Structure 1
């Protein structure tokens, strides 16, 4: 009986691991070494909002910054990367409302105006995924 319970537990834990994936995100064209890059993970409901699903900070080395989001459930996500030059944790804007810090989104689609969910959305399935974002 103990073996049966152990096997059932093992099967369930392996099954739950198979239903998650890691997401590696990289920006390779960061200008300068000042500051950090903030990678924020969103779903459709909270895209561009103040509370991402997860947010990771990365140091810049040789114009490169990267981060990995772990154990993501299958679904639709979007990532915004921000070069936070002054490390204040947010995007800085000019008096006219234009961004003063570089940023990019998953799928590398930037249009005039703020990023749109439809342009940034991608699917995570049960295997690991890599994204490269350009500023």
Structure 2
């Protein structure tokens, strides 16, 4: 069972590794959130679906959060259909993706704690904090508990980071 979990978490880390080449996206913490997101969502051009990923439990220490939206076909296998990096500030951090095609996705996050632009891997998977959207899982991560829908109005997901 431990070997399966290690393989799955290693897959998640490798899938997010593609985020390291992406440009930064502005992150907002709880203190900076306001109602401007609603206005932005209402004024986006047709076809542009904003998706907000809320990352909870970010521990102090700096670095970046690699955030990816993965479709079912590339779940734990590829960098993701959409990916970005945001500054890792203590507490709750928000990453926003613009122009996301409606469909089913999983949000995957890795905290690049040492800021080296790489996802550190050990024998049991990532040695840096990581998490998936949806319900907490044990063992090999599964698509359904982590999946969320993006509609023609956009979507949102929450990820709780695990620093184990």
| Residue aligning to 2:63 | 35
| Residue aligning to 1:131 | 157
Q: CA RMSD in A?
A: 2.1
Mark the structure with the bigger radius of gyration.
Answer: 1
- Other structure's SS at 2:75 match: coil
Distance in 2, Cα, partners of 1:97 & 1:62: 25
Higher helix share: 2
Structure 1 98/45 Cα, relative in aligned 2: closer, same or farther at 3 Å?
Answer: closer
- Other structure's SS at 1:34 match: coil
Q: Which runs of 5+ in 2 are unaligned?
A: 1-44
| CA displacement at 1:29 relative to structure 2 | 0.9
Taking the TM superposition and a 5 Å limit, the aligned residue runs for 1:55-134 are 55-94=83-122, 96-113=123-140, 115-134=141-160
CA contact (8 A) 2:52 2:157 kept: yes
Structure 1 127/81 Cα, relative in aligned 2: closer, same or farther at 3 Å?
Answer: same
| Residue aligning to 1:9 | none
Distance in 2, Cα, partners of 1:44 & 1:65: 25
Q: Which runs of 5+ in 1 are unaligned?
A: 1-15
Distance in 1, Cα, partners of 2:75 & 2:148: 13
Q: What CA deviation, in whole Å up to 9, does each residue of 1:15-51 have, x standing for no partner?
A: x71x442110111311123211111111011111233
CA contact (8 A) 1:75 1:124 kept: yes
